Amino acid sequence: MGMLDDKVVVVTGAGGGIGRDIALQCAAQGAAVVVNDIGASVAGEGLDSGPAQQVVDEIRAAGGRAAASTDSVSEPVSAGRIVQAALDSFGRIDVVVNNAGILRDRFFHKMGQDEWDAVIKVHLYGAWHVSRAAANHFKEQGSGAYVHMTSTSGLIGNFGQANYAAAKLGVAALSKSIALDMQKFNVRSNCIAPFAWSRMIGSIPTDTPEQQARVARIQQMTPAKIAPVAVYLASDAASEVSGQIFAVRNNEIFLMSQPRPERSVHRSEGWTPESVAAHAMPALKSAFYPLDRSADVFCWDPI
């Protein structure tokens, strides 16, 4: 018996990297899988039906059930067709894994509107469109699970990724909202911040020794290490897990914090700009967060 027997799972961006391994492991655990991928470049350019079909062929060769989808997540109509592919091929939908993504890295002061829009549309709008298309089906059947890919670029920070970071932090907020709004229908929603070497991460600059060392660490971490957590969150074994953010790095699994009040100050007469400067900020300053990046917080080698 597999953990996902009789379930139908949609995995977006499943033609390679993390999505491919999630799709393969879902199928190995008994799920029927819709393998969605438009076959674009890392920057989101071009179309190719080959990657999705290759993963479908792998699943079928291993005795599993799968169907290919080459629709884009970034528009509501095409995202709806991804969910419809699950209904047409397998009669239902139980899990959505929002994994599709692109990168268009550039320092904020050099970033163009097109680079901002393209990344937000795939990551944040894409997660919204596919999740929304599945929501009524989950509500009517009284069950369902969402697994969204977020990133420490948004949760912590990174250079040159304002578009990606904003989208990925938005995905974490979207996931929490889904978890709150749909808990009464027995629908769960969680996030994974993955550390893994993939085609998309392969675009990280390696211009400095520091960047080269960072990439060397990431290359030790394969996409297959992310899949077990995704499969678990998709399964009924995770029935009491919702609204959480996990990070997965090689053999490490982290529960990530969520914003909560850290410290407070109070003046019974209220505040003026001068008293904020003289009292509030000095009192709070010891709890300020430094301008950390993901690599500063996860500064030890993968285990």
What 3-state class would DSSP assign to 285? helix
- Rg value, the chain, Cα: 20
Structure-block tokens of residue 9? 């799972």
- From first to last of the 303 residues of the chain, give the pLDDT tens digit: 899 999 999 999 999 999 999 999 999 999 999 999 998 666 566 666 789 999 999 999 999 999 999 999 999 999 999 999 999 999 999 999 999 999 999 999 999 999 999 999 999 999 999 999 999 999 999 999 999 999 999 999 999 999 999 999 999 999 999 999 999 999 999 999 998 866 656 666 667 887 777 677 777 788 999 999 999 999 999 999 999 999 999 999 999 999 999 999 999 999 999 999 999 999 999 999 999 999 899 988 888
Q: Nearest-5° angle of CA 154, CA 155, CA 158? A: 50
Nearest Cα residue to 135 out of 56, 193, 88, 76: 76
Supply the pTM of this predicted model.
0.92
Which sign does the torsion angle of CA 286, 288, 292, 297 carry? positive
- Strand 65-69, strand 32-36: pairing: parallel
**Domains defined for the chain, CATH in brackets:** 8-258 (3.40.50.720)
Q: Residue 138 contacts by C-beta under 8 Å, 6 or more apart in sequence?
A: 93, 144, 182, 185, 187
What residues are labeled active site? 164
Nearest Cα residue to 149 out of 47, 252, 248: 248
d(CA 44, CA 13): 11
Residue ranges of the alpha helices (H) in 67-203?
76-90, 113-120, 126-141, 152-155, 162-182
Strands (DSSP E) along the chain, which ranges?
8-12, 32-36, 65-69, 95-98, 144-149, 187-195, 245-249, 252-255
**CB atoms < 10 A from the CB of 175, how many?**
26
Structure-block tokens of residue 288? 């300020």
Beta carbons of 25 and 52 less than 8 angstroms apart: no
What backbone phi and psi angles, to 5 degrees, belong to 288? -60, 150
What 3-state class would DSSP assign to 245? strand
Helix H or strand E segment including 52? helix 50-61
Q: What is the pLDDT of residue 49?
A: 75
Q: Residue 113 contacts by C-beta under 8 Å, 6 or more apart in sequence?
A: none
